[in-house]
């Protein structure tokens, strides 16, 4: 079974530039998550999709971050404009059903490491 | 919001030792608690998931316990190996959707 795919693996940009990350979840997984992991911290949930609808985006900085999941499969996360404090690893994860409450395992991709200069 | 704390932040042990990693959480109304492993430059790998109705889960040399009343979970690693070196993260769900992660324990097992 193929895992969660993410690209690019690394990205270096200057502040105020824009950047986009792509995620392809495990085939058949209804729920997709984007996390931000700052160095030395645990991952923080940014947004959760169930199929192509948003379930939770309460911690997404909506003035600069946006995300979409077209056709309930792939997803993109965009930052525009980027700030220095956005330097982090952006992790995508998927789970089979998601749902409330969350009772199942999430499978994580390798992440995209972003450095904002 | 569920707050998760992991102690110690870092741990170094010689190969073959049995060890315990600790995780504490603030809200006992927890739905599940998961333990993950993270290798440098890689994503997270789920190790064990304990639902609120369970007290422990085992997988190979790993055993995780959950004590909701005291707000604690432990991950026990038996007969540690250098390949166990990684960062171990615990995460709890009590609001229903989000996993709330601790900062992790960085483990080094020396030959």
Q: Are B19 and B80 in contact (CB under 8 A)?
A: yes
Would the pLDDT of B1 be above 80?
Answer: no
- What's the pLDDT at A100? 65
- What's the pLDDT at B98? 75
Instruction: Please state, in angstroms and rounded to a whole number, the distance separating the CA atoms of residues A92 and A34.
Output: 5
- B92 in reach of chain A (CB within 8 A): no
Residue B29: pLDDT band with limits 50, 70, 90: confident
Would the pLDDT of A102 be above 90?
Answer: no
Q: How far is B32 from chain A (nearest CA, A)?
A: 6
- What's the pLDDT at A101? 60
Instruction: Please state, in angstroms and rounded to a whole number, the distance separating the CA atoms of residues B96 and B79.
Output: 35
Interface test with A, best of B35, B40, B43, B93 (most A CBs within 10 A): B43
Q: How far is B23 from chain A (nearest CA, A)?
A: 13
Residue B58: pLDDT band with limits 50, 70, 90: very high
| A12-57: pLDDT as tens digits | 999 999 999 999 999 999 999 999 999 989 999 999 999 889 988 9
Which of A40, A102, A108 is the closest to B96 by Cβ?
A102
| A60-101: pLDDT as tens digits | 999 999 999 988 899 999 999 999 999 999 999 999 887 766
Interface test with A, best of B97, B105, B106 (most A CBs within 10 A): B97
Q: How far is A86 from chain B (nearest CA, A)?
A: 18
Instruction: Please state, in angstroms and rounded to a whole number, the distance separating the CA atoms of residues B49 and A103.
Output: 8
Average pLDDT over residues B52-74: 93
- A102 in reach of chain B (CB within 8 A): yes
Instruction: Please state, in angstroms and rounded to a whole number, the distance separating the CA atoms of residues B91 and B4.
Output: 7
């Amino acid at each position: 079974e193929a895992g969660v795919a993410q690209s690019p693996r690394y990205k270096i940009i200057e502040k105020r530039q824009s950047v986009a990350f792509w995620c392809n979840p495990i085939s058949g997984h209804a729920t997709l998550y984007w996390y931000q992991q700052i160095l030395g911290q645990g991952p923080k949930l940014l947004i959760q999709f169930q199929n192509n609808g948003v379930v939770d985006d309460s911690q997404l900085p909506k003035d600069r971050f946006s995300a979409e999941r077209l056709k309930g499969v792939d997803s993109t996360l965009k930052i525009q404009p980027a700030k220095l404090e956005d330097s982090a690893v952006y992790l995508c994860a998927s789970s089979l059903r998601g749902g409330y409450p969350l009772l199942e395992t999430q499978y994580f991709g390798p992440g995209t490491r972003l450095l904002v200069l | 919001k569920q707050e998760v704390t992991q102690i110690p932040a870092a741990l170094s042990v010689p190969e073959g030792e049995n060890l315990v990693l600790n995780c504490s959480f603030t809200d006992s109304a927890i739905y599940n608690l998961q333990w993950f492993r993270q290798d440098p430059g890689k994503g997270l790998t789920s190790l064990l998931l304990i639902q609120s109705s369970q007290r422990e889960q085992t997988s190979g040399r790993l055993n995780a316990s959950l004590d909701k009343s005291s707000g604690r979970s432990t991950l026990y690693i038996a007969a540690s190996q250098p390949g166990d070196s990684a960062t171990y993260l615990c995460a709890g769900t009590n609001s229903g959707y989000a996993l709330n992660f601790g900062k992790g324990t960085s483990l080094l097992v020396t030959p």
